[in-house]
Amino acid sequence: MAVDHIPTGIPGVDNILAEKGIPRGHTILVSGGPGSGKTTFAMQFLHTGATQHNESGVYVTLDEEPSDIRRNMLKYGWDLKKLEDEKKLVFINISPVRVAPSETAGLIQIGMKEFRLIKLLEAIKQGVKEVDAKRVVVDPVTIFTLQYPDEVERIYAMRDLMRELRKTRCTNLLISELRGTGWEREHQFEEYLAQGVILLRTFLKGSRLVRVFQVEKMRGLAIDNQPRPYEISDKGIEVYPGATVYK
Amino acid sequence: MAVDHIPTGIPGVDNILAEKGIPRGHTILVSGGPGSGKTTFAMQFLHTGATQHNESGVYVTLDEEPSDIRRNMLKYGWDLKKLEDEKKLVFINISPVRVAPSETAGLIQIGMKEFRLIKLLEAIKQGVKEVDAKRVVVDPVTIFTLQYPDEVERIYAMRDLMRELRKTRCTNLLISELRGTGWEREHQFEEYLAQGVILLRTFLKGSRLVRVFQVEKMRGLAIDNQPRPYEISDKGIEVYPGATVYK
Amino acid sequence: MAVDHIPTGIPGVDNILAEKGIPRGHTILVSGGPGSGKTTFAMQFLHTGATQHNESGVYVTLDEEPSDIRRNMLKYGWDLKKLEDEKKLVFINISPVRVAPSETAGLIQIGMKEFRLIKLLEAIKQGVKEVDAKRVVVDPVTIFTLQYPDEVERIYAMRDLMRELRKTRCTNLLISELRGTGWEREHQFEEYLAQGVILLRTFLKGSRLVRVFQVEKMRGLAIDNQPRPYEISDKGIEVYPGATVYK
Amino acid sequence: MAVDHIPTGIPGVDNILAEKGIPRGHTILVSGGPGSGKTTFAMQFLHTGATQHNESGVYVTLDEEPSDIRRNMLKYGWDLKKLEDEKKLVFINISPVRVAPSETAGLIQIGMKEFRLIKLLEAIKQGVKEVDAKRVVVDPVTIFTLQYPDEVERIYAMRDLMRELRKTRCTNLLISELRGTGWEREHQFEEYLAQGVILLRTFLKGSRLVRVFQVEKMRGLAIDNQPRPYEISDKGIEVYPGATVYK
Amino acid sequence: MAVDHIPTGIPGVDNILAEKGIPRGHTILVSGGPGSGKTTFAMQFLHTGATQHNESGVYVTLDEEPSDIRRNMLKYGWDLKKLEDEKKLVFINISPVRVAPSETAGLIQIGMKEFRLIKLLEAIKQGVKEVDAKRVVVDPVTIFTLQYPDEVERIYAMRDLMRELRKTRCTNLLISELRGTGWEREHQFEEYLAQGVILLRTFLKGSRLVRVFQVEKMRGLAIDNQPRPYEISDKGIEVYPGATVYK
Amino acid sequence: MAVDHIPTGIPGVDNILAEKGIPRGHTILVSGGPGSGKTTFAMQFLHTGATQHNESGVYVTLDEEPSDIRRNMLKYGWDLKKLEDEKKLVFINISPVRVAPSETAGLIQIGMKEFRLIKLLEAIKQGVKEVDAKRVVVDPVTIFTLQYPDEVERIYAMRDLMRELRKTRCTNLLISELRGTGWEREHQFEEYLAQGVILLRTFLKGSRLVRVFQVEKMRGLAIDNQPRPYEISDKGIEVYPGATVYK
């Protein structure tokens, strides 16, 4: 019953996570604004797993095309195609609407009704099986939750997703889109349901915007919950665990 | 008719509660954000009761699996399994939806309708009887109240829950999820209904986040209502009753 | 046609009320947050009336049980049971729902429809007659107004309540729950309808929370409308009329 | 076609109104919070008119009872009964609901439907005729506008009220209840429709609340639109036209 | 295809408009709070056009009576009646409801349905033809847009109004009522549709309110978009193009 | 699979975009307030493409008339007519309503239903084919998204638009209207869907408004995400990549 942890491999992050990493099998929410590096963070997690820890990964994309992600990640020197060929990474592309726009009007409705929890879970499970994955990313989970306009239904759907992900025994990152931009935002219900919450935000410090990394929550781990600066360079994301955000 | 109090046993908290503790039989709202240590606080209350005051406890979980809680609490050195074996602790797991996701669509609806006050109360009473409990935790009560979209109905349901809990003669903690993150939040109706309110929050002090404990309300007790810093270490929660939050 | 006043007897309050008290027969709104001492304030008003001015009182409770109030007030040394025996105080307990929870689902609806202005007024009048009361408290009036979802209906219901209370010739305190917590809150319609408004609030002053008493309005009286600090000690509420809230 | 003005007689106010007063025949909105002295301001306007300028007045009350107003104004030494006997003042009491509460439930609905623009206008015209009035007060106009839930209908109703008031050739004050409490409130549509707007507000200045008078708008007059302090003493309202609110 | 400009003639304004004025044929939104001088600004534009540039004007009023405007403008020494007699100015009074209040209830509804874009445009065109106008004012356009509760319909109606105004080849000012009072207000859709936007606002500077003029937008012209102080004196509006709002 | 970039040619912008420009084929959101120079920015992008890089452009206008845009751009010395004659630029004018206002009432409804994704895409594709375009601008995309009142439908419609634009292999700017004016605005869903986001905003710095350019996001490129001052002169937009917004 001892807790096992898997290192994220992202510079600075495991230091913050009690020098350990994410508790194995947990589902972590990674929430950030546009341009905050959410996809980079998630792919860095899978790439490190595949190249340094021999753990395969599943990348479920609900928005960007896999070809775009492959190309964009080249700037970090990550050759995803190679990982896919080696069965260390698999893309699951389940963006709900795929039909030609000239037929869209009616089909959007159908697509929306069919695109549901079951379909999402079946796709994930198939991906996990295909590469014997230990790590899963769903990017973004926001478009999934928006399908449930009733708040209670939305909470139940997210709970079910998390419970089923748990059965895969993988460690999972759910990417989420932040709406509010200030410190005094409202908490979102997903933050309560997830076993861990990582925030990627941007705040104004005098004349400069500073990128701010924060582990808001990580069940089962004594974490550093302080806001820490991070940067996105040509090696991906790097967090500075000893630095403070404001002087 | 003299008032009896039960110590929480959480370092610093009873000092704030007039050196006494929580009035026996009262129902207290413990409200905090994600990662604020709400579950740790509640379990520390039950663990201390069971190991130091010979008072058994019931832990009603509406969200996390008991197995997860057992494992997460190990980091504080709390062996819950042992307490359960000694009949000093019992978990009541009444998370509303339990069915396999492939059958979910229809069953969520049914599950939601069935999951109501009566079911919750029956489960609590059974747990109390099983271990002759003196302390009860419901974590989180938020998912219960969300089921009542009409505000007046929600208030009535919460009142009924509190009245019935009172009949068990146990001392109860209802865990609640905070939405607003600033000092100038709106008060929630639960804060008026509960006999006591404890807030676990986080505020920015210069470059650092500070965890802030506050007893907002405690009927029948002359309390210190000032905000006080607290920490979550490998021994659980510790509050610093003499310290101020800002220098 | 000269105006008569009745002293509240609460230390510091009558000084603020032009050294007089509340105009006899007026209906005053006492509005505050959780833990602000609203119930203590109201009971102190009745207790002083009964023990020092030979004026009996009616305490209408829509939320707390009389037995809880009796017990909680013991910490101030107020023996309510004795006052009740002497016919100087009577509790009217008209909390809308009273049925056992196992029968609740349907009955809440019925209870809510029946629980209306008329029932509330009849109960008050009976209580006034029973002890020949000069002072009345309704605690809290919030749950009464919430029953009218339409804003205009709510205003009319509150107006009718106030007009009828006036006919009893008693001096009345209506306890109200504040939602907003900052200085720049919205005014509530009750504040316009009542003949006086007393606010019990809490504000942050540097590192400390300060309890702030303010008479926002008192028709027919030249008042001090400045915010003044107050405390809740083992003698009840004490307001400091000469002190300022911030240095 | 020269513009005639009538002095308000309220100390300090006419200085701000270009040393003249309110343009004769205009309709002015007087908007303030609870306890801001709206009724005192309005009655001081009528009292001065009746006692110093030989202009009779009509006081339309939609909320307070005339007997209460008469009594409350005694503290300023204003003997309204005497003015009424001399036909220099008349109260029009058209508070919409007047029936006994035991019959209220159904009658509120009827009362609300009947209470409309026409009834209000007929009452005003009758009052004007009765005392040959030159000044009219409607206190508060808020309860009248709330009856029109649709925003456009509400604007039209207010426009019609103002147009008809104009035909009486009286100078009119419409009392309005402010909701927002900060400097950065939303403007209300009434402020655009009225020919003048006077604001009675309260702001925090260091440790003190300061009463702030401001003429936001006065068509046809070169006004001082600066915020100015005012006080409510035993002589009524006094504004300090040369003083600044802060420092 | 060279751009022609017409001077506003308002002191300071043309300096800000690249020493030129408003591009001929453009439609400009003039948005301000109550008492900000919107009507004065608009009439000053027409008066200058008529007396100094031999350009006649049409003043469409949806709220104030022409007789009131004529009288109020006398304080600036502007004799509108004279301009009307010389066919240099014409008032179009199309305030939607005109019927006697005793018949209002039903007629408001009809009035509102009939009062539409077509009627407004026909009236404008007729006025333009009558005095061979080069300048048009619609004051306020807000009451026109409020008639379309659906946001998209409202945008379309405003677009149509602007397109048709364009066909008259006049230069047009649409007067609009500001709701928000702070710097950080929401932009309104009209600001995007108009070819130019002029804001007349009031901000607190220490202890004083300062009137602030700003050209937010002026298509086809290199403008000074800085906030500049302005005043309303007995000569009308004067803007200080070289001054800054805060020291 | 190497990433190709196209320079914007706007002074300062390509320095911020890693000295490269926009990744070829990407769709970029350009979001700004009224008067922020959105149209100037977009046309500068097309003009530079046509005159310096031999890349033709399509300008889809949903609001302004092409003739207005041609005239307004003359102030920068850009002769669009010449570019159109050389087949280096084509305007697509698909503003939804075009009918005479006298027939508008019914036709708006029809126009709105017909104006949909398909029509928009067909027009764009035809324009691209006509001049063999490499660059496309849609100005503004806001009026397109407003047609979908349901949030999920709106997201799907925007996704479909972006996917289809991608097939043209052009580099695209979608112009979007900002509502909020402060730093702490809510993020809009379009910012998550677009491959890049450029913000054109205005903030108050002491007594002056400063125009602020920011690349919030640019997939596949290591950008400078800092806010930078920009100006609109008679040469169009110029950004100052080395300068900071506040001293």
The complex's ipTM works out to 0.89
- Within 8 A of B101 by CB-CB distance, chain A residues are 117-118, 121, 160, 163-164
Residues 8 to 47 of D: which have CB under 8 A from any C CB? Answer: 33-35
> In the predicted model, what is the mean pLDDT of residues A153-157?
86
Distance from CA of A221 to the nearest CA of F (A): 31
Touch test E–F: 3 Cβ pairs or more under 8 Å = yes
* E147: nearest CB among D118, D152, D244: D152
Q: How many Cβ contacts (< 8 angstroms) between chains A and B?
A: 101
Give which of B70, E68, E159, A183 is closest to F140, Cα–Cα. E159
CB A62 within 8 A of CB A159: no
* B34: nearest CB among A116, A157, A197: A197
B152: pLDDT confidence band, cut at 50, 70 and 90?
Answer: confident
Q: What is the rounded CA–CA span in Å between residue D89 and residue D105?
A: 35
* A207: nearest CB among F192, F195, F244: F244
> In the predicted model, what is the mean pLDDT of residues B105-113?
37
Q: How many helices (H) and strands (E) does chain E have?
A: 9, 11
* E227: nearest CB among F68, F72, F209: F209
Distance from CA of F61 to the nearest CA of E (A): 13
Average pLDDT, chain B: 88
* E225: nearest CB among F35, F178, F179: F35
Give which of A20, A226, A2, A222 is closest to B237, Cα–Cα. A222
Percentage of the residues of chain C whose pLDDT score is greater than 70: 89
> In the predicted model, what is the mean pLDDT of residues B107-136?
76
Q: What is the rounded CA–CA span in Å between residue D226 and residue A65?
A: 59
CB E188 within 8 A of CB E21: no
* D117: nearest CB among E70, E101, E206: E101
What burial letters (b/e) apply to F127-153, b meaning 16+ CB within 10 Å? bbeebebbbbbbbbbbbbbebbeeebe
Give which of E77, E84, E39 is closest to D219, Cα–Cα. E39
Q: What is the rounded CA–CA span in Å between residue B56 and residue B83?
A: 9
Winning range, highest mean pLDDT, from C231-235, D196-200, E158-162: D196-200
Contact: B34, A216; criterion CB under 8 Å: yes
Which of C145, C179, C205 should one mutate to test binding to chain B, selecting the residue with the greatest count of B CBs within 10 A? C179
Residue E149 CB neighbours (<10 A) = 10
Distance from CA of D2 to the nearest CA of C (A): 39
Specify the residue for token string 């035909």: D167
Whether the CB of C126 is below 8 Å from some CB of chain D: the reply is no
Residue B171, pLDDT > 90, answer yes
Residue C71 contacts by C-beta under 8 Å, 6 or more apart in sequence? B1, B3, B220
- Within 8 A of E225 by CB-CB distance, chain F residues are 35, 202, 209
* C146: nearest CB among B151, B160, B184: B151
- Within 8 A of B182 by CB-CB distance, chain A residues are 183-184
Residue A144 tokens, joined: 């999934």
**pLDDT given for residue F3 in this prediction:** 67
Contact: B156, C108; criterion CB under 8 Å: yes
Of B37-46, B189-198, E167-176, F142-151, least confident by mean pLDDT is F142-151
> In the predicted model, what is the mean pLDDT of residues C161-174?
95
Contact: E156, F112; criterion CB under 8 Å: yes
> In the predicted model, what is the mean pLDDT of residues F62-80?
94
Residue D246, pLDDT > 90, answer no
- Within 8 A of F155 by CB-CB distance, chain A residues are 143, 146
Residues 203 to 242 of B: which have CB under 8 A from any C CB? Answer: 214-222, 225-227
Return the HEC string of chain E: CCCCEECCCCCCHHHHCCCCCEECCCEEEEEECCCCCHHHHHHHHHHHHHHHCCCEEEEEECCCCHHHHHHHHHHHCCCHHHHHHCCCEEEEECCCCCCCHHHHHHHHHHHHHHCCHHHHHHHHHHHHHHHCEEEEEEECCHHHHCCCCCHHHHHHHHHHHHHHHHHCCCEEEEEEECCCCCCCCCCCHHHHHCCEEEEEEEEEECCEEEEEEEEEEECCCCCCCCCEEEEEECCEEEECCCCCCCC
> In the predicted model, what is the mean pLDDT of residues D207-226?
92
E133: pLDDT confidence band, cut at 50, 70 and 90?
Answer: very high
Specify the residue for token string 């304030």: C41
A37: pLDDT confidence band, cut at 50, 70 and 90?
Answer: very high
- Within 8 A of B157 by CB-CB distance, chain C residues are 108
Contact: A208, F1; criterion CB under 8 Å: no
Neighbours of E, requiring at least 3 CB pairs below 8 Å, are D, F
* C71: nearest CB among B1, B155, B163: B1
Note the pLDDT tens digit of each residue in F7-45. Answer: 999 999 999 999 999 999 999 999 999 999 999 999 999
Contact: A246, B207; criterion CB under 8 Å: yes
Residue F210 tokens, joined: 């400063």
Residue E149, pLDDT > 90, answer no
Pairing of strands A228-233, A208-218: antiparallel
CB E118 within 8 A of CB E147: no
**pLDDT given for residue B223 in this prediction:** 87
Distance from CA of B132 to the nearest CA of A (A): 28
CB E29 within 8 A of CB E174: yes
Percentage of the residues of chain F whose pLDDT score is greater than 70: 89
* Eight-state DSSP code of residue B76: G
**pLDDT given for residue B105 in this prediction:** 41
Q: What is the rounded CA–CA span in Å between residue A215 and residue A212?
A: 10
| Long-range residue pairs from A107-115, CB within 8 A, at least 24 positions apart, any chain | A108/F153, A108/F156, A108/F157, A108/F160, A112/A147, A112/F152, A112/F156, A115/A147
Note the pLDDT tens digit of each residue in A63-80. Answer: 899 999 999 999 899 999
What burial letters (b/e) apply to C31-67, b meaning 16+ CB within 10 Å? bbbbbbbbbbbbbbbbbbbbbeeebbbbbbbbbbebe
Average pLDDT, chain E: 88
Q: What is the rounded CA–CA span in Å between residue E58 and residue E45?
A: 11
Element (H, E) at C6: strand C5-6
F119: pLDDT confidence band, cut at 50, 70 and 90?
Answer: confident
Residue A116 CB neighbours (<10 A) = 17
Q: What is the rounded CA–CA span in Å between residue B8 and residue D220?
A: 70
- Within 8 A of E219 by CB-CB distance, chain F residues are 68, 72
Name which residue leads in pLDDT, B235 or B206. Answer: B235
> In the predicted model, what is the mean pLDDT of residues D44-53?
97
Whether the CB of F96 is below 8 Å from some CB of chain E: the reply is yes
Residue D111, pLDDT > 50, answer no
> In the predicted model, what is the mean pLDDT of residues D22-32?
97
The SS3 assignment for E19 reads: coil
Give which of E70, E44, E38 is closest to E57, Cα–Cα. E44
Q: What is the rounded CA–CA span in Å between residue F87 and residue F130?
A: 8
Whether the CB of D3 is below 8 Å from some CB of chain E: the reply is yes
Residue D103, pLDDT > 60, answer no
Residue B97, pLDDT > 80, answer no
Whether the CB of E167 is below 8 Å from some CB of chain F: the reply is no
Contact: E1, F96; criterion CB under 8 Å: no
CB C238 within 8 A of CB C230: yes
Cα C29 off chain centre by: 6
Q: What is the rounded CA–CA span in Å between residue D17 and residue D37?
A: 19
- Specify which residues A31 forms β-bridges with: A176, A199
The SS3 assignment for C243 reads: coil
Residue E56 tokens, joined: 């006649």
Q: What is the rounded CA–CA span in Å between residue B184 and residue B191?
A: 15
- Within 8 A of B206 by CB-CB distance, chain A residues are 246
> In the predicted model, what is the mean pLDDT of residues E55-77?
94
Note the pLDDT tens digit of each residue in C170-185. Answer: 999 999 999 988 888 8
Neighbours of C, requiring at least 3 CB pairs below 8 Å, are B, D
C96: pLDDT confidence band, cut at 50, 70 and 90?
Answer: low
B157: pLDDT confidence band, cut at 50, 70 and 90?
Answer: confident
CB E27 within 8 A of CB E193: no
Contact: D187, E179; criterion CB under 8 Å: yes
The SS3 assignment for D8 reads: coil
Residue D229, pLDDT > 60, answer yes
Name which residue leads in pLDDT, A68 or E101. Answer: A68
**pLDDT given for residue D101 in this prediction:** 37
- Within 8 A of B95 by CB-CB distance, chain A residues are 159
Percentage of the residues of chain C whose pLDDT score is greater than 90: 70
Whether the CB of C110 is below 8 Å from some CB of chain B: the reply is no
> In the predicted model, what is the mean pLDDT of residues C35-47?
97
Handedness of CA D41, D42, D47, D50 (dihedral sign): positive
Distance from CA of E82 to the nearest CA of F (A): 34
**pLDDT given for residue E115 in this prediction:** 52
Of B132-146, E161-175, E188-202, F139-153, least confident by mean pLDDT is F139-153
